[in-house]
Structure 1
Amino acid sequence: MAGTRQASSLMVVPIPAGTSRTYLYLDRLAAGHHSAFGPSHLNLCLALVNQLSTLIERIEQEKKDLLNEDALDRRIYLADVVTQNAEMVRILKLVEKVSNTDLTVLLQGETGTGKTLIARAIHLTSDRAEGAFVTVDCAALPENLLESELFGYVKGAFTGAQIDKKGLFEEADGGTIFLDEIGKAGLGVQRRLLHLLDRGEVRPVGSTSYRKLNVRVICATSKENLLSDPEAPFIKDLFYRLNDIIVQVPSLADRPEDIPLLTEYFLEMFKNQTGREFPNFSRAAMQRLVRYSWPGNVRELEKAVRRAAILSEDGEAIGVELLPAEIISNTEVTSKQVPTSDGLRGTVQDMERRMVLEALEANNWNKTRAAESLGLSRKGLKNKITRYGLTPRGA
């Protein structure tokens, strides 16, 4: 005890709660005519400890719930990659495995397949989620502009450089930068990127000093092989530095079973954006969507669904006549056909009900674990249980 403070009687009672050792300490000073603590004081103290224990447990549980909700909120961004395709599911599982590592990821796939969404999912499920997610289209700028945009420049570095400018790599410090169409970057940019990956530092254009950065780099390309294009040479050392993990994103034509899911997702998204209810697609229209080859992939599907939804009439199913001409006239057939449920909504709801029930049974109806396995919040799972009238077997 501090100073000359002396106690004639003291009582120390452990509080059985929380993750750290906590005690309730009481004392009585020697000065005055205070008597020693007795049984009545101990009983009062134990009652107080009991209340404190309950309060501490509740506070710690609330903190734990908040952390769990935060993790689920970040995981639910994976749902933006809407799929039931086995290869896409495998990719999403891989995303979760590599998100909290420093491995570089190279996404390969046709334009419009969702590479940006997958890159964002890696960022949002990582411990960098609170940092910036910066996207750069390397095909959109000539090399000299791309170099100064990525790495920044100092005043006087070139004509028009009136002030120092921070580059996009510095903007992404502590977060993630996504370099789309990395194969379009010139050799100068490639050399600087290789230095960053090897040394963790950048040098702005016109500067003589380097700046340390902590940034994760994810790259993407629509080329099958970055090293095989003689018109766009790519540094071998950089290629091998980028491909710790290569993810081949399938085209929409290779995952036709996802088209009903994506269509439902886009209709719901447009409803949230506009506040307007949209009808479902007719069976004939859905068959056309599934059979179309989708050279523009998911991006083209989103555009087609948006167009048809805007042109639709309230209360009437979206028919074939509202689809773009290239889809109506298309005769190519993909390897899989539209599901046989009555309408899109029935198909999606049947599948969702089955997935929710399977997750609950696999986790012995533990709602927290089931929600986590589905990428839902606990509240969202409860809503689906109520909507589908789900109950444990034998209940």
Structure 2
Amino acid sequence: MTAPTQERYRILALDDQRETVLSLQRALRPRGFDTEPYTDAARALDALASQPDSYDAALFDVVLPDVSGIDVLRRAKRIAPDLPVVMLTGDERAKTAVQALHAGAFGYLTKSTDDVDSIAHTLAQAARQRLLQRRAAQLERSLERVYGFEHMIGQSAAMRRVFDAVTKVAESDFGVLVRGESGTGKELVARAIHERSARASGPFVALNCAALPEALVDSELFGHERGAFTGAVGAREGAFERANGGTLFLDEIGDIPPAVQLRLLRVLQEREVVRVGGGAPRPVDVRVIAATHVDLERAVSDGRFRQDLYYRLNVVHIDLPPLRDRLDDVPLLVAHFVAKHADRSGHSPPTFSPAAIEALCSYDWPGNVRELENVVQRLLALVPGDEIRPEHLPSRVVGASSGRLRAVVVPEPQPVVDDLAWTDGMPFAEARRLVQERFERAYVTRLLDQVDGNIAEAARRAGMDRSNFRRVMIRAGVTADKPRRA
């Protein structure tokens, strides 16, 4: 099997036998590989260190005269952690293969003069994985740069309000209560506040109170001394001590028992903690960000949550919208999750058809962003081919979209051609392609807005037939249907 003719891969090859490595170079060249041969491990590693991102894959012999090929593999992975390395040897023992794989090898092949196709096939797989990882990382960086905010993605008005609130809250050191349904990203908000605050260089410690057995909540929060309870064989720091100088995120704060609520209040008031089992108070300098999906005000009125603790935690609050209230962010989130998980799927990431995006944007997402990410991961793992269509989606999603259509567009936050600073360093052809994509998306979006999503009228105004206009819509990633009128 040969590598695709349209792509050539650069390979770093190491074998102590010069004729072997040169023979591989000659054999792999017509199969789509430009092989850089080395017989000395030190020189090969120096070449890798000087250009760690220039190689698509590496091919190392396991048996070398002065050093183990496994050791060279480990050193190569320290230099270029994402570089896929294929190990080649005449040793067919399983133990050697296991050692290589445990050390981070992409694959393990035995030498055979008539099996160059197997080597080429494995190298092509490795190089394509490397290419896929790079493209996914580039896409994720682009999304983060254009639509992101501290690892959160969104351009809806609801999320812009959240981003503004995070920016303002981060400037202070008051307690914050993040309110929102499960799966809306409350921990991401807490991390964003921490990263933008004066405490960013300190630790960020997250603790899910709902996941802790009641008997261990005290110990997890405040730590314990040796012998404080059965099984306490040694002293242990609690979350407050681990977060000293930084931020402590307490998720599902409404689930902590009343007795622990009182001790938590004292820590917040006195800024010192006493471990379970006694001992001297230990000063702590911690900002607490709490989160909840329940109505804490009702819990206070029902007597299930201390009012004084509630006011101590809720100096400032941020409300996170459920995904159903920001469905225009769904296309961005889908692209983000595809980029995030594409390299784990084992194949090139598929695109989502306009109809599939429409269905995703018509579902209420009771599990919020977490549920959407789960659906995207499942589709990447199970759907073969280059395009995900409505029939691939879970039945609950497709069923929700029937009879309910809405206009969905990917927002364009930057000028189309006025400011080209974002193209700095790009080849001309790539920059022209991206500018054209932005123009098409902005043009089609504006035109569809003017005609209330009527594709036939939009095509007429654009001077195009309907099928060609639809192709431009698909290429631009814009989906729209004429809304139903009451």
- TM-score bracket, normalised by the shorter chain, equals 0.5 to 0.7
Q: Which residue of 2 aligns with 1:321?
A: 391
Aligned-pair CA distance for 1:150? 1.0
Counterpart-to-counterpart distance in 1, 2:433 and 2:267: 51
Q: Name which of 172, 175, 200 aligns with 1:101.
A: 172
Q: Name which of 126, 140, 155 aligns with 2:197.
A: 126
Q: How does 1:1-395 map to 2 (within 5 A)?
A: 78-228=149-299, 233-274=304-345, 276-315=347-386, 317-330=387-400, 337-339=406-408, 348=410, 351=411, 354-357=412-415, 388-389=434-435
Which deviates more, 76-85 or 317-326?
76-85
* Structure having the higher Rg: 1
Name the SS for the 2:318 alignment partner: strand
Aligned-pair CA distance for 1:159? 2.0
Aligned-pair CA distance for 1:321? 1.7
Aligned-pair CA distance for 1:127? 2.4
Which deviates more, 321-330 or 99-108?
321-330
**8 A contact 2:176–2:314 mirrored in 1:** yes
**Residue 290 to residue 206, structure 1, CA distance change in 2 (3 Å):** same
**Residue 126 to residue 386, structure 1, CA distance change in 2 (3 Å):** farther
Counterpart-to-counterpart distance in 2, 1:185 and 1:110: 18
Counterpart-to-counterpart distance in 1, 2:357 and 2:414: 25
Name the SS for the 2:361 alignment partner: helix
Q: Which residue of 1 aligns with 2:49?
A: none
Q: Which residue of 2 aligns with 1:67?
A: none
Aligned-pair CA distance for 1:255? 0.6
Which deviates more, 124-133 or 167-176?
124-133
**8 A contact 1:154–1:163 mirrored in 2:** yes
**Residue 332 to residue 132, structure 1, CA distance change in 2 (3 Å):** farther
% identical equivalent positions: 41
**One-letter code aligned to 1:180:** D
Q: Which residue of 2 aligns with 1:24?
A: none
Aligned-pair CA distance for 1:178? 0.7
Counterpart-to-counterpart distance in 2, 1:190 and 1:267: 41
Counterpart-to-counterpart distance in 1, 2:425 and 2:217: 45
**8 A contact 1:278–1:314 mirrored in 2:** no
- Residue by residue, what CA displacement relative to the aligned partner does 1:200-234 show, whole Å, maximum 9, x if unpaired? 11110111421001111100000123443777711
**8 A contact 1:106–1:218 mirrored in 2:** yes
Q: Which residue of 1 aligns with 2:76?
A: none
- Residue by residue, what CA displacement relative to the aligned partner does 1:56-93 show, whole Å, maximum 9, x if unpaired? xxxxxxxxxxxxxxxx9xx9772421111112111111
- The TM-score, its normalising length taken from structure 2, stands at 0.55
**Residue 168 to residue 275, structure 1, CA distance change in 2 (3 Å):** same
**One-letter code aligned to 1:325:** S
Which deviates more, 264-273 or 252-261?
264-273
Name the SS for the 1:159 alignment partner: coil
**One-letter code aligned to 1:193:** L
Aligned-pair CA distance for 1:162? 1.8
Tell me, which stretches of 5 or more residues in structure 1 are unaligned?
1-71, 340-346, 372-377, 391-395
Counterpart-to-counterpart distance in 2, 1:162 and 1:207: 15
**8 A contact 2:225–2:235 mirrored in 1:** yes
Q: Kindly indicate whether structure 1 or structure 2 has the higher relative contact order, using CA contacts under 8 Å at least 6 residues apart.
A: 1
**Residue 322 to residue 166, structure 1, CA distance change in 2 (3 Å):** same
Q: Number of aligned pairs?
A: 291
**One-letter code aligned to 1:189:** V
**Residue 314 to residue 79, structure 1, CA distance change in 2 (3 Å):** farther
**8 A contact 1:99–1:123 mirrored in 2:** yes
Name the SS for the 2:182 alignment partner: coil
Name the SS for the 1:193 alignment partner: helix
Counterpart-to-counterpart distance in 1, 2:305 and 2:417: 46
- Residue by residue, what CA displacement relative to the aligned partner does 1:287-333 show, whole Å, maximum 9, x if unpaired? 11111111100000111111112222233x10112111221223588
**Residue 187 to residue 328, structure 1, CA distance change in 2 (3 Å):** same
Aligned-pair CA distance for 1:386? 7.0
**Residue 379 to residue 199, structure 1, CA distance change in 2 (3 Å):** farther
**Residue 199 to residue 229, structure 1, CA distance change in 2 (3 Å):** closer
- Residue by residue, what CA displacement relative to the aligned partner does 1:102-121 show, whole Å, maximum 9, x if unpaired? 11110111100111111111
Q: Which residue of 2 aligns with 1:9?
A: none
Aligned-pair CA distance for 1:357? 2.6
Counterpart-to-counterpart distance in 2, 1:191 and 1:309: 47
**Residue 160 to residue 115, structure 1, CA distance change in 2 (3 Å):** same
Counterpart-to-counterpart distance in 1, 2:176 and 2:230: 36
